[in-house]
Amino acid sequence: MADVEIFVDPICPFCWVTSRWVVEVADQRPLDVRWRFIALRIINEHKDYASEFPDGYPKGHGAGLRMLRVLAAVREEHGNDATGEVYGAMGGLVHNEKRRREIQDEPIESVGDGIVRDALDRSGFDGQLAAAAGDERWDELLRSESNEALSRTGPDVGTPILTFDPASESAVSFFGPVISRIPRGEAALELWDLTERIARFPTFAELKRSMRERPVFD
């Protein structure tokens, strides 16, 4: 049984930072992480992108959806650990190596495909899995997992979503934490313990402040 589930979309930079924090904690503790999916393109499909989002978001969220289709295919064929590896490669390319910039120059029907191919190659997986990017049959699964994530937190949140002890009666879920830098070492463990403690407080709902900086990747 997984100790924690994290619902991710590869295109989200804050989700990427949080996911690297989770990996940092898992490197220091016996933490079993299960990789789940939440598609920003799907959970925002009822919105008007032209009026409610800045320029570039249609392609950005579209690229995230295509990457998630590939991750779904990877998980079905190779399992959870492989999903984490390919997601790690995708996020490294998109965010650390700033390949997100190329997405705006790509056709909408193949947006993000270059990143997908390179991520599969770096992870050592068959490049034929890249064909899943254009396969809409995966969208039913992505919609189901996106809806499941929001059912655990309530609507009007984004990525990431974390669930502690997902198979137990004491499971708790929340959106975030939204952090701009990846905590390392003892700082990562301290934030983990504090986050889990406050998440388990039965009536706790929200704690928020405005962002102080853009996300920093290392």
Predicted confidence at residue 132, as pLDDT, reads 98
Radius of gyration of the chain (CA): 17
Torsion of CA 77, 79, 85, 90, to 10 degrees: 50
Predicted confidence at residue 122, as pLDDT, reads 96
Predicted confidence at residue 209, as pLDDT, reads 83
Which of the residues in the chain have pLDDT under 70? 1
Predicted confidence at residue 121, as pLDDT, reads 97
Alpha-carbon distance of 51 to 124, in angstroms, equals 41
What kind of architecture, by CATH, is found in domain 4-199?
3-Layer(aba) Sandwich (3.40)
Predicted confidence at residue 134, as pLDDT, reads 96
Predicted confidence at residue 109, as pLDDT, reads 87
Predicted confidence at residue 20, as pLDDT, reads 98
User: What is the domain partition of the chain in residue ranges?
Assistant: 4-199
Measured from the Cβ of residue 49, the count of other Cβ atoms closer than 10 Å reads 17
pLDDT tens-digit profile of 186-200?
999 999 999 999 999
Measured from the Cβ of residue 218, the count of other Cβ atoms closer than 10 Å reads 8
Verdict on whether the full-model pTM lies above 0.85:
yes
SS3 state of residue 148: helix
> Phi, psi at residue 206, to the nearest 5°?
-155, 145
